[in-house]
Amino acid sequence: MTSRKINNICCIGAGYVGGPTMAVIAKYCPEIQINVVDTNKERISDWNHENLSNLPVYEPGLADIISTNRGINLHFSCEVEKHISEADMIFISVNTPTKTKGLGAGEASDLKWVELCARQVSRHSKGHTIVVEKSTLPVRTAEVIKNILDNSISKFKNEDYVAKTFDVLSNPEFLAEGSAIRDLEYPDRVLIGGDNEQAINALSEIYLNWVPENKILFTNIWSSELAKLTANAFLAQRISAINSIGALCEATGADVREVARAIGSDTRIGTKFLDSSPGFGGSCFKKDILNLVYLAKYFGLPEVANFWQGVVELNKWHQKRMSELIVKKLFGTLSGKKIIILGFAFKANTNDTRESPAIQICKDLIKEGALLHIHDPKVNASQISKDLNANQINENNEPQVLEGNFNSWTEIKNIDSSFTDADAVVILTEWDEYSSINWELASKKMRKPGWIFDARSIVNYEKLANLDLNFWRIGDGSLD
Ligand code: NAD
Ligand code: UGA
């Protein structure tokens, strides 16, 4: 088995994937120098911040690795060109959001940052470079990257020209936020797609420093690209499926937790990803499914496109259903009512709010006149304001005028003292600290009739039995 020895890695994109992924490689490969580069100066300066609580990404276990490896074999820098030119292997880990205009707007992934990376690599790399797609990309993007790299070679020939050659591999990332370090250290699998044996071996040798050999899967490059989109689509589909059943449970007297337990014990179905919730959020599920929808349409498969589109539609409907339900339970009006929102991140253990269901639900409640008091242990107030004030896009991809004062919310610093005169508490993120709230104390302070809306099933509601509070939890048809 021959392979190329990798001494120097450059990762373009210091985001939620680039930062943690490179930190773990640095931890297990002390002999490799790793430079994570980004054009966003603020982000890089946060990665270099002396105070580790200022890192731009919050992930359990990340700060420990940064404190051990930063400045030793892990470096964060804005010098993109310099570090590209030094690297034997370059990971492209930049954002690939949904296109907002032009062909495929609202569905296709916007590859402008990936294309720019390919052009930068073609221009500044030296000798042989292995380019690794880490970003989630539509199937056949490697072809585009290879094309840009190959076509630029002769253009940049000059007197100090050193022959440039490239291999392109697909190595999609499957980490989930909140458990990124654990997922990277103990992955279910590492997927490598490509056709050049030396390049594949070079990449797999890096992973073999901590990943068992039988967990490294090899496929052709197109299967690897498509497998990543498919994995996210399947996971998101399970959430829409269980949330749809949750609505049916509420209508029929069944309990979605019991249904989930019953179906999850079938080993063919399995127990994971069956927690009903306010809907899936995060930067990837929606965008990756929409990308799949676009690809299916592009390849003339409208039935396939419609099937996956349904998963996104259900999620949208489900979030709307949550805010409507709160309005109905509070006598059809929220005008002047104080509502406590617990959790703004799209899931626990992350500071990421991208596509968080809390954004839409909070906007809906503000439009109804509610006075929101919002708490999240890791999301700061300026991020919440930014999210609440961001333009909404309608079905036709047009920006919507905001109705309501989205600056009128209040940040909660201390949960216990926030309950005074509150009409309702809405739990939207499953942070551990919300499961140990003293509801007896809260009940005494709240205005009556007071409500708890538990969209994450984390409140032990048997303990609420003697309290003067109304309780609703997701998917529980036994509650009125
Ligand atoms: P992110 O937005 O957090 O980070 C991307 C970074 O790339 C940004 O900081 C941006 O400034 C930088 N960037 C863009 N173009 C650049 C350029 N030309 N030169 C230098 N820097 C550049 O995104 P992310 O969440 O890390 O996601 C990155 C990719 O990984 C996406 O394709 C996403 O779908 C995929 N992914 C994300 C996750 C996740 O949990 N967030 C998990 C698996 C896969
Ligand atoms: C997801 C995938 O799990 C990762 O494998 C993938 O790499 C990543 O997307 C990506 O490509 O970005 P992530 O979005 O970070 O990871 O987090 P998940 O744990 O998958 O949760 C996504 C959303 O689904 C969250 O809003 C979460 O609250 C919700 N969810 C999850 C449920 O509502 N119920 C569940 O049972 C599980």
Q: What is the structure's pLDDT at 393?
A: 58
Q: What is the structure's pLDDT at 156?
A: 59
Q: Ligand 1 in contact with 83 (CB < 6 A)?
A: no
Q: What is the structure's pLDDT at 408?
A: 78
Q: What is the structure's pLDDT at 405?
A: 66
Q: Which of 272, 346, 430 to mutate to test the pocket of ligand 2 (most atoms within 8 A of CB)?
A: 346
**Which residue would you say has higher pLDDT here, 161 or 58?**
58
Q: What is the structure's pLDDT at 463?
A: 86
Q: Ligand 2 in contact with 278 (CB < 6 A)?
A: no
CA 258 remoteness from chain centre: 28
Q: Tell me, what amino acid is at 112?
A: K
Q: In the block, which residue shows the tokens 């104080």?
A: 338
Separation between Cα atoms, residue 78 and residue 181, nearest integer Å? 24
Structure tokens at 131: 């380019």
- Number of helices and strands in the chain (H, E): 16, 16
Among residues 29, 249, 284, 362, the one annotated as catalytic is: 284
Cα of 96 vs centre of ligand 1, distance in Å, is 7
Q: What is the structure's pLDDT at 157?
A: 60
Ligand having the closest approach to the CA of 346: 2
- From the list 112, 94, 103, the residue with the least C-alpha distance to 37 is 94
Burial class for 321, CB neighbours closer than 10 Å (0-12, 13-18, 19+): middle
Q: Which of 40, 78, 95, 173 to mutate to test the pocket of ligand 1 (most atoms within 8 A of CB)?
A: 95
**Residues 88 and 8 sit within 8 Å (Cβ to Cβ):** yes
**Residues 328 and 412 sit within 8 Å (Cβ to Cβ):** no
Helix (H) / strand (E) containing 235: helix 221-252
* Tens-digit pLDDT profile for residues 340-373: 999 999 999 999 999 999 999 999 999 999 999 9
Is 355 considered catalytic here? no
Q: What is the structure's pLDDT at 399?
A: 55
Q: Tell me, what amino acid is at 72?
A: I
**Residues 229 and 292 sit within 8 Å (Cβ to Cβ):** yes
pLDDT value at 479 more than 90: no
- Secondary structure of residue 261 in the 3-state scheme: helix
- Other Cβ atoms closer than 10 A to 121: 26
Helix axes 285-298, 221-252, angle to 10 degrees: 120
pLDDT mean over 99-125 = 94
Q: Tell me, what amino acid is at 286?
A: K
Separation between Cα atoms, residue 259 and residue 454, nearest integer Å? 18
Q: Ligand 1 in contact with 117 (CB < 6 A)?
A: yes
3-state helix, strand, coil in the chain (%, to 5): 45, 15, 40
Q: What is the structure's pLDDT at 141?
A: 92
**pTM > 0.85: yes or no:** yes
CA 105 remoteness from chain centre: 21
The residues near 231 (Cβ < 8 Å, ≥ 6 apart) are 174
Separation between Cα atoms, residue 113 and residue 50, nearest integer Å? 29
Q: Ligand 2 in contact with 235 (CB < 6 A)?
A: yes
pLDDT value at 13 more than 70: yes
Which DSSP category does 109 fall into? B
Q: Ligand 1 in contact with 35 (CB < 6 A)?
A: no
pLDDT mean over 387-404 = 65
Separation between Cα atoms, residue 205 and residue 9, nearest integer Å? 14
Structure tokens at 292: 């799949």
Cα three-residue angle 147-227-14, rounded to 5 degrees: 65
Q: Which of 97-111, 134-148, 387-401 has the lowest mean pLDDT?
A: 387-401
* Tens-digit pLDDT profile for residues 290-334: 999 999 999 999 999 999 999 999 999 999 999 999 999 999 999
